């Protein structure tokens, strides 16, 4: 591995920005898609981690021509190091995870789009930056050519995707439809009366909650046009963009927009291909990592895993799931070495403290960030006059490593027992200072921060005198509060290192095996008497892998694994507890038992929608659901053997008022089945009646092949559904509106296959009730965060996998199952969990058990208990479960009797702070 020189010592750099201010060399800023400039010494973006500068050696004047060194001259921290050299490191690791990501398709030079030539044609990545408040226009939607506010904007879909003519990418990039909707929505938010149109072939909003998002966009007046735009042309005088298209009535329309956004697809960057080569990992013809549906984060090389867009275009939640799955799979091979290389910091024992506060105040200059505005010397002088303050220090950068040592020594020398740091925000720096207190033998909660930068010098830069007075106020408030703080004991809860998995489908089996392979005991609970769930009805995956043998293998591995206790014909009837300490009652065919476990994974699956009465289903013996069709076809049913013509009808029960979601798997299934029928009997006619073909990602290849083989695709709209009539004893007529011919089309067919919706399993809601988990509007499990926590619940220690979360194909269910196990393992691999000590605390003398706090607690951490009172009377009062309490303080604000408070934020402490604020 080679480490590039940064030329900035990250230990010393305090990110004051003086270097960049003085640097004379301007460079195109890649973060803003080169729509703005940065300097040759720079921080990639304002919130970058690490928040440290770096010198771009390709552009630095000194490194290029030997002259300048301005940054070095002005750096107040002495952090510039031009002697920095490239290093070659050799690392010995147990496993490798590749996550190099994607690059967007570059449409430069393609004449039809005119990108790079017409100034008002931009890519979606550039649009992203134009919409951002931290972008080159501070979020104002103005066009590049003349800085005119954009009033009419068009988005062109599938640029560099689903296109083998102008790009080499036959695949669908999966995310562009929904990101275009998002950008159009945000743009409308930025510019009142903006007209936004999206030109698309198929609207692919197949993700969780995406269909509703699409409907919302339509409601906002965003115009969706199903057509292909042939080419763009500039309008000379105005620099607007002109183009023609054919509308849904077959009429040619000429139109003009202020700006056109090209919704560019996702591709593997050359650097990632190089990485694959070095790692010895095979890529497929679309330059993505090849994987199997049952091993979605594996690669062609054992011990090397991949996640994210490296194995195909995908959205953020899928990427995050794969990342957790890859971590789980990579570490599974290394389980015998768990905790062998990790280190924990050791701290000296805590010193007892005197009741009398001895407060130390450390005031930070933050380079010139604070000291350039606030008269820090005056603030320091003032701090010395405050009660109980025995030490006041000033530091150029209080957060630097050497200052931590200084603070530690001063605490010891002067016997400080409370510390105030007047500097920046506790959000980023409180953990650092708390560590310093611990290192000095002080309890970490005897600390407070006064934010005299973000809330003072930065926002009052023009009024230095007032800012100085405000800094004094803030310091006085902190000193008043910190004097009343007491040491809080650390809280740790033990972890029962056993997992529970509910649901024995493919997701549940994979989760259970992953946990067991990591060495943990698992209870796997399945309601029926067989394992396999919905996958037992599946014939093969979208990649063509047969499902049945894979299921058999999983089944055998589950049954033979000594760490897995399999509970068939069983359900969970009751549960209590919290992360690390759950107790669930499993009711089996003969008896019920209570099991103790540290984590739970809910993988209760879903069901197929039964289209009773729709399209002659139930009344004709030749109308089937997709699953029935697969089975009969496989068994060689007579009706299938005799049939010549087939009609598939998509979106049966999906994307409608009752179920405003896409079932994600049905388009690919119909295309795959149609393709096989066509291959078997090229003379037979196969029709697919669809609303939008959603063969996302590399599934697009199947769609392309099906069209090549002569499968006929006919688009229908939701308000004009096809009609199926029985016309002959064994034949039916399907009528659908033909958009090209503008007349109803009647198809005689032998078989009708209905692509029915995936609907939630009612058992999921029952279970959600037992574990107090949220369910979304469609009846699926609600994750903690749509993007970043796609397998977690808001409650710690419980995770989800598979169809219970939302409709998905096998490979995605397996990835989520591995991810859920991985998340559970991060809990199970410790014997205890340390918690923040700022928790709700009951004042027993004041609490009379009115229970008002019970109702408001968002974490259900409070319960009512009976206690023995005086004279044999039973009194009720509340009790707090520390593991569930997050210290939010809602209970404290609700309690009418001062019966509960959050440690570190008591009424007395906060009042002292308020009084001090008003005392100035």
Partner 1 sequence: MEWNMSEQVKGSVLIAGGGIAGMQAALDAANSGFYVYLVERRAAIGGKMAQLDKTFPTNDCAM
Report the alpha-carbon angle 159-162-163, nearest 5.
70
Which of 90, 193, 341, 855 is the binder for partner 1 (CB under 8 A)? 341
Which of 172, 323, 501, 675 is the binder for partner 1 (CB under 8 A)? 323
Which of 324, 403, 534, 764 is the binder for partner 1 (CB under 8 A)? 324
Burial class (CB in 10 A: 0-12, 13-18, 19+), 89: exposed
Contact between 54 and partner 1 by CB under 8 A: the answer reads yes
The nearer residue to partner 1, 72 or 676, going by C-beta atoms, is 72
Cβ burial 317-348 (10 Å sphere, 16+ → b, else e): bbbbbbbbbbbbbbbbeeeeeeeeeeeeeeee
Contact between 43 and partner 1 by CB under 8 A: the answer reads yes
* Distance between CA atoms of residues 557 and 254, nearest Å: 62
| Structure-token pair, residue 104 | 């967007």
Cβ 213 to partner 1 shortest distance, Å: 4
Contact between 1 and partner 1 by CB under 8 A: the answer reads yes
The nearer residue to partner 1, 107 or 135, going by C-beta atoms, is 135
SS3 labels along 374-401? CCHHHHHHHHHCCCCEEEEEEECCCCCH
Cα dihedral across residues 226, 227, 233, 237: positive or negative: negative
* Distance between CA atoms of residues 267 and 785, nearest Å: 27
* Distance between CA atoms of residues 767 and 502, nearest Å: 9
Which among 48-56, 354-362, 391-399, 859-867 is the span making contact with partner 1, rule CB under 8 A? Answer: 48-56
Residues from 807 through 826 that contact partner 1 (CB under 8 A)? 822-823, 825-826
What angle in degrees, to the nearest 10, is found between the helix axes of 666-680 and 700-708? 30
Contact between 210 and partner 1 by CB under 8 A: the answer reads yes
Cβ 839 to partner 1 shortest distance, Å: 22
The nearer residue to partner 1, 99 or 565, going by C-beta atoms, is 99
* Distance between CA atoms of residues 806 and 162, nearest Å: 26
Residues from 363 through 402 that contact partner 1 (CB under 8 A)? none
Which long-range CB contacts under 8 A does 250-255 form with residues at least 24 apart? Answer: 250/739, 250/740, 250/742, 255/154
In DSSP notation, 358-369 reads -EEEEEE-TTTT
Chain centre to alpha carbon of residue 726: 49
Strands in 131-194 per DSSP E:
152-159
Which among 179-187, 229-237, 722-730, 739-747 is the span making contact with partner 1, rule CB under 8 A? Answer: 179-187
Contact between 798 and partner 1 by CB under 8 A: the answer reads no
Residues from 265 through 294 that contact partner 1 (CB under 8 A)? 271-272, 275, 279
Cβ 826 to partner 1 shortest distance, Å: 4
Q: If you compute the radius of gyration of the chain from its CA atoms, what whole number of angstroms results?
A: 32
Residues from 845 through 874 that contact partner 1 (CB under 8 A)? none
Strands in 843-902 per DSSP E:
862-868, 874-880, 900-902
* Distance between CA atoms of residues 462 and 95, nearest Å: 54
Which of 77, 141, 158, 328 is the binder for partner 1 (CB under 8 A)? 328
The nearer residue to partner 1, 92 or 356, going by C-beta atoms, is 92
Contact between 186 and partner 1 by CB under 8 A: the answer reads yes
Which of 396, 786, 882, 890 is the binder for partner 1 (CB under 8 A)? 786
| Structure-token pair, residue 218 | 């339509």
Which of 327, 522, 606, 862 is the binder for partner 1 (CB under 8 A)? 327
Contact between 726 and partner 1 by CB under 8 A: the answer reads no
Which of 5, 44, 372, 464 is the binder for partner 1 (CB under 8 A)? 44
Q: Which of 548, 362, 363 is nearest to 456 (CA)?
A: 363
Number of residues in contact with partner 1 under rule CB under 8 A: 85
The nearer residue to partner 1, 65 or 342, going by C-beta atoms, is 342
Whether the Cβ atoms of residue 715 and residue 698 lie closer than 8 Å to each other? no
Chain centre to alpha carbon of residue 193: 32
* Distance between CA atoms of residues 117 and 114, nearest Å: 5
The nearer residue to partner 1, 209 or 614, going by C-beta atoms, is 209
128, 372, 470, 474 from 466: Cα distances, Å: 38, 13, 6, 12
Contact between 82 and partner 1 by CB under 8 A: the answer reads no
Residues from 128 through 147 that contact partner 1 (CB under 8 A)? 128-129, 131-133, 135, 139
**Coil, helix or strand for 727?**
strand
The nearer residue to partner 1, 145 or 186, going by C-beta atoms, is 186
* Distance between CA atoms of residues 126 and 132, nearest Å: 10
The nearer residue to partner 1, 350 or 836, going by C-beta atoms, is 836
Contact between 222 and partner 1 by CB under 8 A: the answer reads no
Which of 212, 536, 705, 739 is the binder for partner 1 (CB under 8 A)? 212
CA atoms within 13 A on the CB side of 151: 4
Contact between 307 and partner 1 by CB under 8 A: the answer reads yes
Q: Which of 317, 258, 314, 272 is nearest to 127 (CA)?
A: 258
Contact between 829 and partner 1 by CB under 8 A: the answer reads yes
User: What character string, x for contact with partner 1 (CB under 8 A) and - otherwise, covers 86-105?
Assistant: -----xxxxxxxxxxxx---
Contact between 50 and partner 1 by CB under 8 A: the answer reads yes
Contact between 326 and partner 1 by CB under 8 A: the answer reads yes
The nearer residue to partner 1, 52 or 739, going by C-beta atoms, is 52
Cβ 829 to partner 1 shortest distance, Å: 5
Which of 65, 88, 342, 560 is the binder for partner 1 (CB under 8 A)? 342
| Structure-token pair, residue 169 | 């990418």
| Cis peptide preceding 50, ω within 30 of 0 | yes
Cβ 337 to partner 1 shortest distance, Å: 3
Which of 65, 88, 90, 340 is the binder for partner 1 (CB under 8 A)? 340
Which among 208-216, 220-228, 374-382, 728-736 is the span making contact with partner 1, rule CB under 8 A? Answer: 208-216
Cβ 911 to partner 1 shortest distance, Å: 35
Cβ 797 to partner 1 shortest distance, Å: 13
């Amino acid at each position: 591995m080679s480490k590039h020189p940064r030329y900035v010592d990250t230990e010393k750099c305090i990110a004051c920005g003086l270097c960049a201010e003085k640097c004379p060399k301007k460079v195109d800023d890649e973060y803003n898609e080169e729509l703005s400039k940065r300097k040759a010494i720079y921080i990639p973006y304002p919130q970058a981690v690490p928040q440290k500068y770096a010198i771009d050696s390709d552009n630095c004047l000194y490194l290029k021509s030997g002259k300048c060194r301005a940054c070095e001259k002005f750096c107040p921290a002495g952090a510039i190091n031009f002697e920095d050299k490239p290093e070659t490191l050799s690392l010995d690791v147990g496993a490798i995870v590749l996550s190099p990501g994607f690059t967007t398709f570059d449409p430069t030079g393609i004449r039809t789009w005119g990108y790079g030539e017409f100034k008002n044609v931009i890519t979606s990545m550039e649009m992203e930056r134009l919409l951002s408040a931290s972008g080159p226009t501070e979020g104002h939607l103005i066009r590049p050519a003349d800085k005119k506010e954009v009033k009419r904007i068009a988005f062109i879909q599938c640029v560099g995707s689903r296109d083998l003519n102008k790009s080499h990418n036959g695949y669908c990039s999966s995310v562009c439809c929904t990101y275009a909707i998002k950008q159009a929505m945000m743009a409308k938010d930025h510019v009142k009366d903006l007209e936004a149109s999206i030109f698309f072939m198929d609207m692919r909003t197949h993700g969780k909650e995406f269909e509703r998002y699409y409907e919302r966009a339509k409601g906002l007046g965003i115009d969706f046009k199903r057509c292909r735009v042939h080419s763009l042309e500039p309008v000379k005088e105005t620099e607007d963009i002109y183009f023609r298209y054919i509308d849904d009535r077959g009429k040619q329309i000429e139109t003009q927009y202020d700006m056109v956004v090209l919704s560019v697809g996702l591709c593997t960057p050359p650097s990632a291909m190089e990485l694959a080569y070095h790692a010895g990992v095979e890529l497929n013809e679309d330059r993505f990592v090849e994987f199997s549906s049952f091993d979605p984060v594996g690669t062609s090389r054992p011990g090397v895993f991949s996640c994210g867009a490296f194995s195909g275009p995908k959205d953020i939640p899928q990427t995050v799931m794969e990342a957790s799955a890859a971590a789980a799979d990579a570490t599974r091979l290394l389980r015998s070495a768990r905790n062998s290389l990790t280190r924990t910091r050791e701290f000296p024992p805590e010193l007892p403290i005197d009741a009398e506060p001895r407060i130390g105040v450390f005031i930070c200059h933050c380079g010139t960030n604070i000291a350039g505005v606030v008269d820090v010397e005056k603030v320091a002088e003032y701090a010395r006059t405050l009660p109980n303050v025995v030490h006041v220090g000033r530091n150029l950068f209080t957060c630097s490593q050497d200052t931590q040592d200084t603070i530690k020594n001063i605490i010891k020398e002067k016997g400080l027992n409370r510390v105030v740091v007047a500097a920046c925000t506790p959000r980023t720096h409180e953990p650092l200072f708390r560590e310093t207190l611990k290192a000095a033998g002080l309890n970490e909660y005897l600390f407070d921060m006064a934010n005299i930068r973000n809330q003072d010098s930065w926002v009052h830069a023009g009024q230095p005198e007032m800012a100085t007075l405000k800094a004094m106020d803030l310091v006085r408030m902190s000193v008043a509060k910190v004097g009343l703080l007491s040491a809080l004991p650390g809280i740790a809860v033990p972890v029962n290192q056993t997992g529970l998995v509910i649901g024995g489908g493919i997701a549940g089996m994979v989760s259970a095996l992953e946990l067991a392979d990591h060495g943990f005991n698992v209870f796997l609970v399945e309601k029926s008497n067989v394992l396999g769930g919905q996958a037992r009805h599946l014939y093969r995956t979208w990649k063509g892998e047969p499902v049945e043998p894979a299921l058999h293998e999983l089944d055998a591995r589950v049954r033979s694994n000594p760490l897995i206790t399999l509970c068939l014909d069983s359900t969970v009837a009751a549960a209590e507890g919290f992360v690390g300490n759950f107790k669930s009652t499993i009711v089996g065919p003969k008896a019920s038992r209570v099991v103790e476990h540290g984590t739970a994974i809910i993988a209760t699956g879903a069901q197929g929608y039964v289209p009773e009465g729709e399209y002659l289903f139930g009344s004709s013996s030749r109308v089937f659901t997709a699953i029935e069709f697969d089975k009969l076809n496989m068994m060689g049913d007579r009706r299938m053997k005799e049939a010549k013509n087939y009609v598939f009808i998509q979106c049966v029960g999906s994307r409608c008022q009752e179920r405003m979601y896409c079932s994600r798997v049905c388009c690919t299934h119909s295309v795959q089945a149609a393709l096989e029928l066509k291959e078997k009997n090229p003379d037979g006619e196969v029709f697919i009646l669809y609303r939008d073909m959603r063969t996302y990602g590399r599934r697009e290849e199947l769609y392309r092949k099906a069209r090549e083989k002569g499968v006929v695709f006919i688009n229908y709209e939701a308000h004009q559904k096809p009609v199926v009539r029985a016309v002959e004893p064994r034949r039916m007529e399907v009528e659908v509106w033909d958009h090209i011919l503008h007349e109803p089309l009647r198809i005689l067919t032998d078989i009708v296959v209905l692509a029915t919706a995936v609907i939630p399993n009612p058992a999921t809601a029952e279970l959600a009730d037992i574990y107090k988990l949220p369910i979304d509007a469609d009846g699926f499990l609600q994750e903690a965060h749509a993007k970043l926590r796609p397998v977690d619940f808001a409650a710690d220690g419980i995770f989800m996998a598979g169809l219970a979360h939302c409709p998905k194909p096998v490979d995605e269910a397996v990835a989520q199952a591995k991810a859920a196990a991985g998340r559970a393992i991060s809990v199970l691999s410790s014997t205890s969990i340390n918690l923040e000590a700022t928790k709700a605390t009951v004042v027993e003398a004041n609490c009379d058990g009115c229970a008002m706090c019970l109702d408001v607690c968002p974490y259900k951490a409070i319960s009512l208990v009976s206690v023995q009172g005086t004279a044999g009377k039973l009194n009720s009062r509340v009790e707090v479960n520390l593991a569930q309490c997050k210290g939010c303080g809602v209970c404290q604000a609700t309690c009418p009797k001062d019966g509960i408070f959050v440690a570190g934020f008591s009424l007395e402490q906060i009042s002292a702070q308020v009084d001090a604020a008003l005392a100035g």
